Amino acid sequence: QFEPRPLAKAPPSPGLLQAAAYVYDAQYNRNIPFETSPKAVRLYYLYNHWSMQAATYFFIFVDLALALFEEPAVYLLPFLGKYATSLVEVLCLLVFFGRLVHFAQVTPRSVFWKDTKNICIMISILVTLIDLIVYGALRISAIRGIRWSRPLRPIFLINFAESRQIRRAFRSIRNTLPEITYVFLLFMFSVLMFSLMALKLFGDRNLKTVEGSPYFTNYLEIVFNMYVLVTTANSPDVMMPAYDFSWWYCLFFIVYVIINTYIFMSVFLAVVYNNYRKHLKNEIRKLAYMKRRKMIEAFNLLKVKEGAEFVVKEDQWKHLVKLVAPDISTSHRELLLRISDEEQKGCVDKKSFVRLADLLNIQVITIKLHSHPLDIWFPHVYNSTPSLCIRSMVRHKGFVWMYDVIILINAVFIALDEKNPYISYAEWVFLCLYIVEILLKLYTYEPRNFFARNQFWNWFDTSIIIAALIATVLNTALRSVTIYNSQQVLDIVFILRVLRLIRIIDSIQRFRVIMNTLINIMPTMLTFGGLVLVVYYIFSIVGMEIFQGKVKFFAGNTTTPHALYCGNPALKDSTFARAKYCKNNFNNIASSFIVLMELTVVNQCGFALVTHQAAKLYFITFHIVIVIMIIKTVDALLQRMFEAEIPPEEEGPSLDEILNLSPNDAYPKNPVFDNAA
């Protein structure tokens, strides 16, 4: 698998190092492994250039966003109407195809055609084209067709190599799935069992639900209700009629919830963990082995014989590092060389060379002691007594505390009614105070250090304050010019004002630690976000095709009687309409996303019950998929937590373990550009 990472800013992985060794080798024409001609190298650089990657992402985004403008549209395009989206889609497909062809140019042919990813993209492009043509033809003959290829769009997101994390997550889901399936079957068996009991216990009692329909008489109905009860969405409603009838029947539901919600939840967790333990250790070993193998291959390419052993010459080593990690400073590179060539022999031996990938992964923070620009420009003024006094004041702890107090006072003012003109003026005072704080800090601390890459809070503060300043000024300007008080701008001002208060977290050490934990688990959460996006997109498109127009929303000031039952007579007097849920519909992609979001949070059975019976299937499927995602995320979190646990000695797997690896794993398909990370 060709992993197109930009050479220019890559976290240097062993695969990349190996590739770089080949490129280096090719540049010096020592030997050419396959098509790695200078032209191929240029193409490879171009393929990995950030602008090409950004363009790909942009077109993937455009392709996905098309759903906003296609019928049923959130925003109807004013010009060209129906054909504009189709044209844009064709453009996107062309870009994807171009990218694929480019990829084929820099990959050995045999590898390219063996990769399911590429086949997948090609088929998707073809299928989408066919769908577009059929749809266009039907449109011209004035027949309403269905754009059935739209759920395929996330395939581009998954399969274009940039989203490796998401693909990895999908692979890991595929690994866990069989084991989860068995637990799920057992769970379903338990639900069916309990439903049968419920039918026997309550079916002949002539009980009625709150809505007046017969209670627990239809087996399938019961199964659905019991399934929803597991998600706790219809608790306690589903229990109340039986509970009202007799006290003891409550026990039935309590036992049910304990077994099917809590105990099965634990079993799922246990199964996922067992799976993790089984797979991960091997995977880590495999990775370590692959890493080593690649580094050795790179070494073999560059080695020269010196005395009894093979080594890599110092300037070749430097050239390689410069190629792989052009960002690092000269001093950093010298440091690495000093470590790799401890005896200063002017060459790096095999053992040290193999460590290079790990060495490059160690973060070296280069502290540059800049002088403050003011110190250079106006040294007398900057070092005068009042200036020194200001600077020591800003560095004092009391300065931070003072601003914490100011933030708290600001919080009180925000909570108060801002219609009072004095409070409105106070806002300006606070804004000025914050700006003064930033200016003072910039005066005291060196600006380049103040805005260093790891100074998250400084960046956060400054951008919030500047945004607030712009928004407040804009709001005042709009208010003075027109009578119209722009609501959007005002909303933004409000939000920015409240966001300013977050700063107080940074003052408390313990909170900072928690924020770090949060930042640590962020990548996992983001991968989960990507997965969810894919699932949501597919289900939204399908949901729109099925349920579009079934439930209608009428704005608050409408007078039509339809508004009382969301434009669907079947919803008359339903709890759905009474709770004013009409806006929870599938009438466009944005509404669909929101409904799916609600279903993720609480499997809101109300909606499932009001539309037709087949809808239940849709909702249950969606729920199962989401549960699998969540289990997956827990799995990934566990993995992240325990990866640190694997002792470093594991890096070198024993011979036995290497022999146990499948041939597929031991011999990378693409010896040049493979990147197992």
Site for its own copies in 470-509 (CB under 8 A): 491, 494-495, 497-498, 501-502, 504-505
Q: Which residues contact 347 (CB under 8 A, 6 or more apart)?
A: 306, 311, 312, 313, 314, 317, 341
Q: Which is nearer to its own copies, 1 or 260 (CB)?
A: 260
Single out the residue of 514, 558, 572, 654 in contact with its own copies (rule: CB under 8 A): 514
Q: Interface with its own copies includes 269 (CB under 8 A)?
A: yes
Helix (H, G, I), strand (E, B) or coil at 141: coil
Single out the residue of 271, 290, 298, 541 in contact with its own copies (rule: CB under 8 A): 271
Q: Are 605 and 581 in contact (CB under 8 A)?
A: no
Minimum CB separation from its own copies for residue 117, in Å?
Answer: 29
Q: Which is nearer to its own copies, 338 or 640 (CB)?
A: 640
Checking phi first, is residue 325 left (phi over 0); if not, alpha (psi -120 to 50) or beta? beta
Q: Are 647 and 285 in contact (CB under 8 A)?
A: no
Q: Which is nearer to its own copies, 236 or 373 (CB)?
A: 236
Question: How far is it, in rounded angstroms, from Cα 165 to Cα 531?
Answer: 10
Q: Interface with its own copies includes 76 (CB under 8 A)?
A: no
Q: What beta strand segments (E) does 368-476 contain?
A: none
Task: Show contacts with its own copies in window 304-333 (CB under 8 A).
Answer: none
Question: How far is it, in rounded angstroms, from Cα 612 to Cα 607?
Answer: 10
Minimum CB separation from its own copies for residue 366, in Å?
Answer: 30
Q: Interface with its own copies includes 109 (CB under 8 A)?
A: no
Q: Which two tokens stand for residue 271?
A: 């199964």
Task: Show contacts with its own copies in window 128-167 (CB under 8 A).
Answer: none
Single out the residue of 141, 366, 517, 664 in contact with its own copies (rule: CB under 8 A): 517
Minimum CB separation from its own copies for residue 148, in Å?
Answer: 28
Q: Which stretch binds its own copies (CB under 8 A): 142-150, 298-306, 575-583, 662-670?
A: 575-583
Task: Show contacts with its own copies in window 219-258 (CB under 8 A).
Answer: 219, 232-233, 235-237, 239-240, 243-245, 247, 250, 254, 257
Phi and psi at 661, nearest 5°, equal -65, 145
By CB under 8 A, the count of residues binding its own copies is: 80
Q: Which two tokens stand for residue 318?
A: 């430097």
Checking phi first, is residue 122 left (phi over 0); if not, alpha (psi -120 to 50) or beta? alpha
Q: In the 8-state DSSP scheme, what is residue 210?
A: T
Single out the residue of 62, 183, 470, 564 in contact with its own copies (rule: CB under 8 A): 183
CA 260 to chain centre: 30
Question: How far is it, in rounded angstroms, from Cα 538 to Cα 532?
Answer: 10
Q: Which is nearer to its own copies, 96 or 202 (CB)?
A: 202
Binding mask 191-210 for its own copies (x = CB under 8 A): --x--xx-xxx--------x
Task: Show contacts with its own copies in window 526-555 (CB under 8 A).
Answer: 553, 555
Q: Interface with its own copies includes 641 (CB under 8 A)?
A: yes
Phi and psi at 450, nearest 5°, equal -60, -40
Q: Interface with its own copies includes 650 (CB under 8 A)?
A: no
Q: Which is nearer to its own copies, 55 or 257 (CB)?
A: 257
Question: How far is it, in rounded angstroms, from Cα 16 to Cα 426?
Answer: 56
Question: How far is it, in rounded angstroms, from Cα 651 to Cα 648?
Answer: 6
Question: Across the strands, what pairs with 214?
Answer: 208
Across the chain, how many H-helices and E-strands are there?
A: 31, 3
Task: Show contacts with its own copies in window 397-456 (CB under 8 A).
Answer: 411, 414-415, 418
Single out the residue of 40, 440, 634, 646 in contact with its own copies (rule: CB under 8 A): 634
Q: Interface with its own copies includes 578 (CB under 8 A)?
A: yes
